[in-house]
């Protein structure tokens, strides 16, 4: 069960896990509040979630030195 949870947390963007580790807050708490806020505001935090997921992906490319997307701008 833990391996399934780990796979879901890190391979499906992992935004809540990343925020929880950086801020020292339980991941479950962040997910719960994200769901509550999304329901109250009719899904507008989803845009913020996808922006963070995109930024984490770009950061991973830069840190792994696979490709620098800013190099060609």
pTM of the model: 0.57
* φ, ψ (nearest 5 deg) of residue 42: 60, 40
Check: CB of residue 43 under 8 Å from CB of residue 28.
Answer: no
Predicted pLDDT at 53: 80
Instruction: Give the pLDDT confidence of 11-64 residue by residue, as tens digits.
Output: 666 788 888 888 898 888 888 888 888 888 887 888 888 888 888 877 777 777
- More confident position, 70 or 53: 53
């Amino acid at each position: 069960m833990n391996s399934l949870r780990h796979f879901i947390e890190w391979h499906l963007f992992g935004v809540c896990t990343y925020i929880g580790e950086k801020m020292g807050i339980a991941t479950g708490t962040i997910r719960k509040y994200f769901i509550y806020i999304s329901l109250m505001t009719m899904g507008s935090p989803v845009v913020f979630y996808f922006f963070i997921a995109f930024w984490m992906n770009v950061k991973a490319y830069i840190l792994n030195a696979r490709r620098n997307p800013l190099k060609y701008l």
